[in-house]
Amino acid sequence: MSAADPARPRHPGPAVLAPVLPITAARPRRHPSSERTSVPLQPDGTLTPHQRVAARFEQRFAQAGRTLTDAKTAEDMRIALGAVVELLNGARAQGLISEEAHADLANMVVAMMEAPGLLG
């Protein structure tokens, strides 16, 4: 092949073009409303304090597209709160918080661990 020869040989005859689909035709349609986690009804005066905390937790998780009614999400939350209890135990052992404060805070965190079970 000499330098004067074209890099691509020419095909004899007319070029046959395949139909081209518009890019939008191949893109799947999404419905954002179906992808969002629904937020449960907001607490009213008939809920116990623990149920109100559970509803507030669920609202926060729903804002992140998750729900505490999902077993894995609930377990993840319990694991994280278990670490908070360990942190409180360490603070008590170091004398950073009193026995009374530790008991109050630890009881609150343990109650928060039950939030997934309080959602309907």
Q: Could you tell me the sign of the dihedral formed by the alpha carbons of 75, 78, 83, 84, in that order? A: positive
**Residue 33: how many other CB atoms lie within 10 Å:** 7
Give the per-residue pLDDT at 18: 59
Give the per-residue pLDDT at 69: 87
Q: What is the mean pLDDT of each run of 10 residues along the chain (120 residues)?
A: 60 60 55 50 66 85 89 91 93 95 90 80
Give the per-residue pLDDT at 111: 83
Q: How far is CA 29 from the centre of its chain?
A: 22
CA–CA distances in Å: residue 1 to residues 5, 15, 61, 83: 6, 24, 68, 73
